[in-house]
Amino acid sequence: MKALLLVLLTELCLGSLFPEKEKSPQYWRDQAQQTLRNALKLQKLNTNVAKNIIMFLGDGMGISTVTAARILKGQLQHMQGEETMLEMDRFPYVALSKTYNTDAQVPDSAGTATAYLCGVKANEGTVGVSAAVTRDQCNTTAGNEVTSILKWSKEAGKSVGIVTTTRVNHATPSAAYAHSANRDWYSDNEMPPEAIQQGCKDIAQQLFENIPNIEVIMGGGRKYMFPKNTTDVEYQTEDKYRGTRLDGKTLISVWKEKKPKDKSAHYVWNRQDLMALNLDKVDFLLGLFEPVDLMYELDRNNQTDPSLTEMVEVAIKILQKNPKGFFLLVEGGRIDHGHHEGKAKQALHETVEMDRAIGLAGRLTTENNTLTVVTADHSHVFTFGGYTQRGNSIFGLAPMQSDVDKKPFTSILYGNGPGYKLIGGGRENVSTVDFADANYQAQSAVPLRQETHGGEDVAVFAKGPMAHLLHGVHEQNYIPHVMAYAACVGPNTNHCRSGAPRGTGVALPLLSTFASLFILLCLF
């Protein structure tokens, strides 16, 4: 009733569903001309060397999720929403990324992470290994490991960091440092005995062994770092959050012991301790804020747990101290979880929070020397439609009823998932439930306990040095090749001889062609 009144009042005041200025053709022409002037400025390419690389990965952040999050962001600021610009919308370059895994048309987060971090497409369920590795088969791993842009950056002397809202040993971050035939081998407790016998190591252990001096690691996953049955520091009465490790190791101590003695290494497990750090004096930071994944942003306790934006701010301030620059991977990891649960509101608030972190990162860095890439690993079968009016709540109803079952429907729907429900043999009448609730599960066409990923391309937004190389429809594994080229890390650095102007990567082959021609001419 209140909402209805508000809509009526708004309509009375504005006289329409949209701002009066939008009735003027001049408004749209001016807006487009300004966009055009901005686009013309792009003729001068940014070919600087990228000192820093920041990669934002929205897990499951398909294009429909980006659009819906944009509308939500605007509506949270009491706008209609459609006209709002996300931080990622301001990036000058956008490409599409083909997300399939070598063995899957609709991919998972492990094979895709291997593609956009290591530059090699891989099988579903595997991280940091090529497609020669069979999922679950430890003994196919050896010799088939592939390394990531995080490792290449570290080897080039940059500081490196991982920030995620999932556990730090989850699929996305793990492809940055681990090589595993199974993404679920979080600790040795989750591994089959034969995999351990064959010499495979759990992902938590690899986090501290493979690239021992990662400067910043923040996220969840505490329980995988402590011996089996160790009580969790925050949830002392919850058995499910006790330590899991069968090898009896406390990986927090292993982490600390490996740090150079003249450097300061801080482990924190709550927001207060994180915020109390003097970042000028922190060389290494390990922050594990939950036993498994972090809370959804909507459910977060802002006293005990940092937001993704807060973690990104801390990470950049630590990493920025390195004069050689940094590589930072930031994952909005629970967009995916919201969708799997059919809880679109959770997924979209996670997306808005990641966008806020993108804005903050932009303010802490400059496009002159920082390449920022925002993308997703894969999409979801999430959609919104139904001819909703301008400014309709993104969580609202379509302005019509089904002409078949005569019931209303929400704009947001899933192709499959847990929101499928029959009441008296028919579709539920959504007007009888609170479809704006944070945990409302939108209706789906097919019942599934977990809604699935979607197979269409995802967007890649880029700004900064060499961002223009992300310009078309690309295979997902192309992305780290661009980031590495821009930053002069990894194997392809012929264009990076110190002091040489950029672009010699093109000029040198041309020169040598001319030289060969000249030699040929001389011979004849």
Annotated binding site: 59, 170, 172, 331, 336, 340, 377-378, 453
Residue 170: φ, ψ to 5°: -80, 170
Given 64, 97, 109, 180, which residue is catalytic? 109
What does 336 interact with, of ligand NAG, Zn ion, none (CB < 5 to 8 A by kind)? Answer: Zn ion
CA dist., res. 373 & res. 479, Å (int): 9
Binding-site members for Zn(2+) are 59, 336, 340, 377-378, 453
Burial of 484 (0-12, 13-18, 19+ CB in 10 A): buried
Q: Least distance to Zn ion from the beta carbon of 238, Å?
A: 25
DSSP sequence for 437-469: STT----EEEE-SS--EE-S-EEEEEESTTGGG
What does 98 interact with, of ligand NAG, Zn ion, none (CB < 5 to 8 A by kind)? Answer: none
One-letter amino acid at 257 equals: E
Say if residues 443 and 88 touch (Cβ distance below 8 Å). Answer: no
Q: Least distance to Zn ion from the beta carbon of 331, Å?
A: 12
Nearer to ligand NAG, 304 or 492 (CB): 304
Nearer to ligand NAG, 10 or 137 (CB): 137
Q: Least distance to ligand NAG from the beta carbon of 338, Å?
A: 20
Q: Least distance to ligand NAG from the beta carbon of 269, Å?
A: 18
Q: Is 127 helix (H, G, I), strand (E, B) or coil?
A: strand
**Residue of 207, 248, 208, 209 lying closest to 230 (CA atoms):** 248
Nearer to ligand NAG, 30 or 405 (CB): 405
Binding-site members for Mg(2+) are 59, 170, 172, 331
Which pair of tokens denotes residue 238? 């919850």
Q: Least distance to ligand NAG from the beta carbon of 318, Å?
A: 21
- In sequence order, the 6+-apart residues with CB closer than 8 A to the CB of 412 are 68, 344, 382, 383, 384, 394, 395, 442
Give CA torsion, residues 388, 390, 396, 399, to 10 deg.
-40
State which residue has the least CB distance to Zn ion.
336
Burial of 373 (0-12, 13-18, 19+ CB in 10 A): buried
Nearer to ligand NAG, 281 or 406 (CB): 406
Q: Least distance to Zn ion from the beta carbon of 144, Å?
A: 24
Handedness of CA 221, 226, 229, 231 (dihedral sign): negative
Handedness of CA 122, 293, 348, 436 (dihedral sign): positive
**Residue of 127, 236, 104, 143 lying closest to 182 (CA atoms):** 127
Say if residues 201 and 272 touch (Cβ distance below 8 Å). Answer: no
Nearer to ligand NAG, 280 or 403 (CB): 403
What does 272 interact with, of ligand NAG, Zn ion, none (CB < 5 to 8 A by kind)? Answer: none
Q: Is 273 helix (H, G, I), strand (E, B) or coil?
A: helix
Nearer to ligand NAG, 10 or 48 (CB): 48
Find where tokens 């595997």 sit: 126
CA dist., res. 213 & res. 255, Å (int): 9
Nearer to ligand NAG, 429 or 493 (CB): 429
Q: Least distance to Zn ion from the beta carbon of 99, Å?
A: 12
Q: Least distance to ligand NAG from the beta carbon of 479, Å?
A: 24
Which pair of tokens denotes residue 40? 């013309």
Nearer to Zn ion, 297 or 336 (CB): 336
Burial of 280 (0-12, 13-18, 19+ CB in 10 A): exposed
Interface residue list for Zn ion (CB under 5 A): 336
Would residue 159 show up in a list of annotated catalytic residues for this protein? no
Q: Which residues make beta-bridge pairs with 287?
A: 218, 268
Say if residues 345 and 69 touch (Cβ distance below 8 Å). Answer: no
CA dist., res. 118 & res. 122, Å (int): 10
Interface residue list for ligand NAG (CB under 6 A): 137, 139, 194, 229, 302, 366, 368, 406-407, 429, 431-432
CA dist., res. 29 & res. 52, Å (int): 37
CA dist., res. 516 & res. 380, Å (int): 52
Catalytically annotated residues = 109
